[in-house]
């Protein structure tokens, strides 16, 4: 992933109110495991509140990915990569 792509993903994450890891070689100021656990807890709570809308947890997660700004960025990157690969033959 190039610098421009990383910047685009970072902007999308910030637009969704997600924390972004900030660290240097000596000091880590972001706990990735704690962040992941909190994110999973929020997702599970939302799923529990809305599970009548979905046939499964997978369907819920796919719907969340579809509405996510970072998901849109990633899907666009995948589409561009597929198009480039198809153009090469």
pLDDT of residue 28: 65
| Per-domain residue ranges of the chain | 3-88
Where are the alpha helices (H) located in the chain, listed in sequence order? 3-15, 32-50, 57-67, 69-88
Is the model more confident about 81 or about 22? 81
Among 3, 18, 4, residue whose Cα is nearest residue 69: 18
| pTM listed for this prediction | 0.52
Average of per-residue pLDDT across 74-88 = 93
pLDDT of 82 over the 60 cut? yes
Coil/strand/helix, residue 30 = coil
Residue 60 burial (CB count, 10 A): 19
pLDDT tens for each residue of 10-59: 677 766 666 555 444 566 666 788 888 898 999 999 999 999 999 999 99
pLDDT of residue 81: 95
Collect all residues with Cβ–Cβ distance below 8 Å to 50 and sequence separation of at least 6. Answer: 60
């Amino acid at each position: 992933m190039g610098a421009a792509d990383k910047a685009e993903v970072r902007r999308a994450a910030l637009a969704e109110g997600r924390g972004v890891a900030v660290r240097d070689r000596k000091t880590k100021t972001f706990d990735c495991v704690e962040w992941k656990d909190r994110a999973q807890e929020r997702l599970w709570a939302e799923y529990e509140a809305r599970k009548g809308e979905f046939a499964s947890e997978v369907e819920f997660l796919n719907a969340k990915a579809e509405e996510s700004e970072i998901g849109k960025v990633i899907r666009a990157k995948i589409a561009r990569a597929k198009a480039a690969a198809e153009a090469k033959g």
